A and B are shown apart, each in its own frame.
Chain A
Amino acid sequence: MTTNLQRVNVKLYLEDEASLSADIAFRIFNRWIAETHDEVLIDVADYSHIPNGPQTLLVGHESDYSLDSTDGRLGFKYGRKRPSEGDTKQRLRAALTAALTACERLEGAPEANGQVCFRGAELQLSVQDRLGTPNSEQSLLALREDLLTVLSQVYGDAKIELRRNEDERQCLTLQIQVDGSFAVASMKQALAA
């Protein structure tokens, strides 16, 4: 089957939700705009007045980054917007790498005083393209092999559980649970290997 995976989003959850406030994320993201030269970052939007959404959003040209609580749990979300290139595995790897890189940056952000830590053993992967990748078992089937290949690269032999959100109104959203404990730095390293 020909695949054209676009608009891949990856979310990682905070170990301690109190460790990163919308206000601190706002400061960090503003700094990133000034310091980032390998992609176009445009502005930061404050949506902290809305519960369960992108609390603080760093808007980029190709991708967005947000402190996100859309599913009721606070975490960091990376979302690719512009067309991705390469095969499915490459696109998944690129999204995961971008998310992990940003998480690593957040963990080291001086504004957060070293308090931020992400739980690497759980990921949310969503595809915000209802036409190209509808929320269905077929889509999951088409994606599964490539996804597991990429995840195995990150998690090695650990047991990986994929759970699809079956609410048809939602875009394809997969909750990925892995046995064990994983730090974002080592996950990123494994992915790059």
Chain B
Amino acid sequence: MSGRTWKEELGARIPEDLGREIDIFETELGWRSQNKLDEVLFAETRLRRGVYGQRYDNGQRFDGSQTQQLAYPEALTKGPNTAWHAPGMQRIKIPFGGLTAEQMDVLADLGEEVSDSILHVTTRQDIQLHYVHIEDTPDMMRRLAAVDITTREACGNSVRNVTACPLAGVCTTESFDVTPYSRALARFLLGHEDMQDFGRKFKIAFSGCRHEACGLTNMHDLGALGVTRVVDGVGERGFEVWVGGGLGAVPHQAKLFDEFVAEEELLPLAQAMGRVFARLGEKRNRARARVKFLIAKLGIEEFKRLVLEERQQLPHDERWTSYLEHLDETDEEPLKPGQALNGADLPEGFEQWHQTNVYQQRQSGHVVVTVSLPLGDMTSDQMRNLAAVARRYVKDTVRLTVEQNIVLRWISESDLPALYGELKAIGLGGAAAGTIVDITACPGTDTCKLGISSSRGLAGELRRRLAERYHTLDAAVQDLRIKISGCFNSCGQHHAADIGFYGISRKINGITVPHFQVILGGQWKNNAGSFGLPMAAVPSKNIPAVVERLTERFITERQQAESFQDYFGRIGKREVKAILDDLAQVPTYEEDPSFYRDWGDVREFTIDDMGKGECAGEVVPLAQFELTAAEREAFEAQVLLDEGDPAAAYRIACGAMVQAARALVRTQFLDVGDDADRIIGEFRTRFFDTELFFDPFAKDKFARYLFRNHEEPLANPGAEDVHRTIEEAQLFIDGSFSCYNRISDAEGTPAA
């Protein structure tokens, strides 16, 4: 047993610059442990290295009846209200999702040694390890650095992981392989001095096809879509550049920046964009600090003018184009020649797996195999064994996907039966990749500090139920995508799903009940071509019934090859609401206590509260009626928008916010009246200035939606503006419910 350190052991295998970075971090960590470094400063330092906080790191946990203190051995913190010894999450950036077998081995070892033996693939091609102690992070970073992985800028106000289509280079419909460009941009921007002063994060994605989903370029701060053109008989590569897209609480469709940015201009353009964002982007109000808000404020034309002006002033950097001479560095080779299936006997389950998990490459005889990971999770042993499988069948051509799976590229088709057998043997032979069973979910209440409802618990339950009857489902249902977020922040990408859900809570007779908002109308294809809108708040326990009912109605009533989106567009939102109405009802605790627990949890949130609820009988507070009415109005706005009346929809959505504000104000000042100016003035004084409305995490964000829409109403709102306003209205109303619930809890009165 050695007394050596990882630093000594790995020595020169750690790139010098990364090694220095990690040494500095370790020093800062030491200072903080001795209280010689401010906790806020240290928090930003660790976040920029992907070292996150995790649920319960404030030292408190609700055990089902009361909040318990977690008695960590020291009072030391690693950030505001974040205990030093509390386990945290480590995000590990994997540019374009590309992994080698050696990297997989190291990730597997780390999962086992510093985490809980589980590796989680995220919706942005990262790997996350949970329950990591802060003191284990420097050596973990060294071990990653030794295999060319960095955690730098995996979080914080920085350029996050640069993602790319996992089929790039082997896709049958791409214009060209975007892999070398994504790698070059990721490397160029990593630690770049122009990218260090953002008010918020900046996300970049690459895609080679317009009509597929793989790159999701429409929902990124910068989306680069590979395109070609012919000029004077010569073919040129370039990128259709989209900017200002994003999900978050209120999704924004990206705006077209330029139809064709020549390949040699891509890096300098991104640099210029970063400089403009750093200079003009919002810094104080985090809720409006993403580049999408800057673009909305300036307008796309002015933003473009500023970026191009900045581009002209940039000092030349040879890295802008030097990589173009080595584009073939990321070219891949097969380990084995491509050969068709040879007619040998096929193992049981092979055909079903082949149907959903195998993609024919454009290179004849080779295929891409999707390794389906339930909820994006795999064990360290599985990762290690998959690395061994990869070594036997391919040459380091493994990628993570934004659907939380892993793909093995360049598999010779004739190897498929043997490969399937090996994957099955390590528990990774699951079929139904990219189907309704393959549900995406963010960590939610399992580990995320912001989670409201259990996205993973729900995803697990839906997956189990749908897998059982997958083969009885109509093909049109099998192909649907379900995506779930534990809160409004969209890490589960719920806006871009056929059926999306995000977590909220409601109180019934003073007892908290986990709910999800049902989102319909989103589109996964066309690089997340459209975003859905909330239909109804449904208790978590009824969500499986929601899925069943929506899909059955769709199959029963659709006309010919009508899509899911088209069907629900045709029947209209009022009808959708009617379909879900009874499922939105919550039985009393006595009738069915299971509604008062979330999926995947045995804790009843509300044993204490239930006592109060029983004392209050069935009294429904006025605020609950009024907030529910505001929610109905927000829904009406959606209907009007669908009916082609954006002006009326906008008016109603704004009115719904005022109505919700009024409901809150009337809890303190019953005679506030109906005048919007007065309501908002009173709301500002009573709920905003006092910070009563402020959500622990969203802070003042949703209140500002109310103020902005009231103070700066849009004269001629377009459909996209109204879509966004409806989202804002729903979030403000959800925030009002939460605010009222917090006040009720504090006062011991029955809540909404």
Please list the residues of chain A having a beta carbon within 8 angstroms of any beta carbon in chain B. 1-5, 7, 26-27, 30, 33-34, 40, 42-43, 45-47, 49-54, 57, 59, 61, 64, 70, 81-82, 128-134, 139, 142-143, 169, 171
Contact yes or no, A64 B116, CB < 8 A: yes
Contact yes or no, A131 B427, CB < 8 A: no
Contact yes or no, B116 A54, CB < 8 A: yes
Given contacts A59-B131, A130-B109, 6 further A-B contacts (CB under 8 A): A7-B113, A50-B377, A128-B113, A131-B2, A131-B6, A132-B3
Q: B17 at the A/B interface (Cβ < 8 Å)?
A: no
Tell me, in angstroms, the Cα distance from A112 to B555 when the chains sit together. 43
Tell me, in angstroms, the Cα distance from A190 to B378 when the chains sit together. 38
Contact yes or no, A142 B1, CB < 8 A: yes
Most buried by A among B1, B3, B131: B1
Contact yes or no, A50 B118, CB < 8 A: yes
Contact yes or no, B381 A50, CB < 8 A: no
Contact yes or no, B117 A171, CB < 8 A: no
Tell me, in angstroms, the Cα distance from A2 to B3 when the chains sit together. 8
* B residues 369-421 in Cβ contact with A at 8 Å: 374-375, 377-379, 381-382, 384, 388
Q: B457 at the A/B interface (Cβ < 8 Å)?
A: yes
| Interface locus among B67-75, B614-622, B638-646, B709-717 | B67-75
Q: Which of B72, B375, B600 contacts A40 (CB 8 A)?
A: B72
Could you jot down 17 A-B contacts, CB within 8 Å?
Answer: A3-B1, A4-B1, A26-B602, A33-B63, A40-B70, A43-B55, A45-B118, A45-B447, A46-B600, A47-B379, A49-B377, A49-B463, A50-B374, A54-B117, A131-B2, A131-B5, A139-B1
* B residues 104-147 in Cβ contact with A at 8 Å: 105, 108-109, 112-113, 116-118, 130-131, 133
Q: How many A-B contacts at CB < 8 Å in the complex?
A: 115
Q: Name B603's closest neighbour in chain A (CB-CB).
A: A30
* Contact A30/B1 with A53-B117, A171-B112 known, Cβ cut-off 8 Å: no
Q: B36 at the A/B interface (Cβ < 8 Å)?
A: no
Contact yes or no, A47 B118, CB < 8 A: yes
Tell me, in angstroms, the Cα distance from A142 to B457 when the chains sit together. 45
Q: B23 at the A/B interface (Cβ < 8 Å)?
A: no
Q: B64 at the A/B interface (Cβ < 8 Å)?
A: yes
Contact yes or no, B71 A40, CB < 8 A: yes
* Contact A33/B118 with A7-B113, A53-B381, A132-B1 known, Cβ cut-off 8 Å: no
Contact yes or no, A59 B457, CB < 8 A: no
CB A182 to nearest CB in B, in angstroms, measures 27
Q: Name B377's closest neighbour in chain A (CB-CB).
A: A50
Tell me, in angstroms, the Cα distance from A128 to B136 when the chains sit together. 13
Chain B residues lying within 8 Å of A171, measured Cβ to Cβ, are 109, 112-113
* B residues 81-119 in Cβ contact with A at 8 Å: 85-87, 105, 108-109, 112-113, 116-118
Contact yes or no, A27 B1, CB < 8 A: no
Q: Which of A33, A64, A131 contacts B68 (CB 8 A)?
A: A33
Tell me, in angstroms, the Cα distance from A26 to B387 when the chains sit together. 31
Tell me, in angstroms, the Cα distance from A134 to B4 when the chains sit together. 12
Most buried by B among A1, A30, A61, A143: A61
Contact yes or no, A130 B113, CB < 8 A: yes
* Contact A34/B63 with A42-B56, A46-B600, A61-B72 known, Cβ cut-off 8 Å: yes
Contact yes or no, B427 A52, CB < 8 A: yes
* B residues 148-199 in Cβ contact with A at 8 Å: none
Tell me, in angstroms, the Cα distance from A52 to B379 when the chains sit together. 8
Tell me, in angstroms, the Cα distance from A132 to B378 when the chains sit together. 26
Contact yes or no, B457 A46, CB < 8 A: yes
Q: B317 at the A/B interface (Cβ < 8 Å)?
A: no
Q: B460 at the A/B interface (Cβ < 8 Å)?
A: yes
By secondary structure, the A interface counts as loop
Chain A residues lying within 8 Å of B427, measured Cβ to Cβ, are 50-52
Tell me, in angstroms, the Cα distance from A46 to B117 when the chains sit together. 13
Q: B708 at the A/B interface (Cβ < 8 Å)?
A: no
Please list the residues of chain B having a beta carbon within 8 angstroms of any beta carbon in chain A. 1-6, 9, 55-56, 61, 63-64, 68, 70-73, 85-87, 105, 108-109, 112-113, 116-118, 130-131, 133, 374-375, 377-379, 381-382, 384, 388, 426-427, 446-447, 457, 460, 463-464, 600, 602-603
Tell me, in angstroms, the Cα distance from A159 to B63 when the chains sit together. 45
Contact yes or no, B457 A4, CB < 8 A: no
Chain B residues lying within 8 Å of A2, measured Cβ to Cβ, are 1, 3
Most buried by B among A3, A49, A143, A171: A49
Chain A residues lying within 8 Å of B133, measured Cβ to Cβ, are 81-82
Q: Name B6's closest neighbour in chain A (CB-CB).
A: A131
Chain B residues lying within 8 Å of A26, measured Cβ to Cβ, are 602
Tell me, in angstroms, the Cα distance from A3 to B105 when the chains sit together. 26
Chain A residues lying within 8 Å of B71, measured Cβ to Cβ, are 40
Chain A residues lying within 8 Å of B377, measured Cβ to Cβ, are 47, 49-50
Chain A residues lying within 8 Å of B2, measured Cβ to Cβ, are 131-132, 134
Chain A residues lying within 8 Å of B3, measured Cβ to Cβ, are 2, 4, 132
Tell me, in angstroms, the Cα distance from A57 to B463 when the chains sit together. 21
Tell me, in angstroms, the Cα distance from A47 to B375 when the chains sit together. 10
Contact yes or no, B379 A53, CB < 8 A: yes
Q: Which of A40, A64, A131 contacts B9 (CB 8 A)?
A: A131
Chain B residues lying within 8 Å of A34, measured Cβ to Cβ, are 63-64, 68
Q: Name A28's closest neighbour in chain B (CB-CB).
A: B602
Chain B residues lying within 8 Å of A3, measured Cβ to Cβ, are 1
Q: Which of B378, B388, B447 contacts A50 (CB 8 A)?
A: B378
Contact yes or no, A1 B1, CB < 8 A: yes
Chain B residues lying within 8 Å of A132, measured Cβ to Cβ, are 1-3
Tell me, in angstroms, the Cα distance from A46 to B1 when the chains sit together. 34
Contact yes or no, B384 A169, CB < 8 A: yes
Tell me, in angstroms, the Cα distance from A47 to B603 when the chains sit together. 17
CB B366 to nearest CB in A, in angstroms, measures 28
Q: Name B4's closest neighbour in chain A (CB-CB).
A: A131
Chain B residues lying within 8 Å of A49, measured Cβ to Cβ, are 374-375, 377, 460, 463-464
Closest 3 CB pairs of A and B: A53-B379, A51-B427, A49-B374
Contact yes or no, A70 B117, CB < 8 A: yes
Chain A residues lying within 8 Å of B603, measured Cβ to Cβ, are 30
Q: Name A29's closest neighbour in chain B (CB-CB).
A: B602
Chain A residues lying within 8 Å of B63, measured Cβ to Cβ, are 30, 33-34
Tell me, in angstroms, the Cα distance from A132 to B70 when the chains sit together. 30
Tell me, in angstroms, the Cα distance from A64 to B115 when the chains sit together. 10
CB B87 to nearest CB in A, in angstroms, measures 7
Tell me, in angstroms, the Cα distance from A129 to B457 when the chains sit together. 32
Tell me, in angstroms, the Cα distance from A40 to B73 when the chains sit together. 9
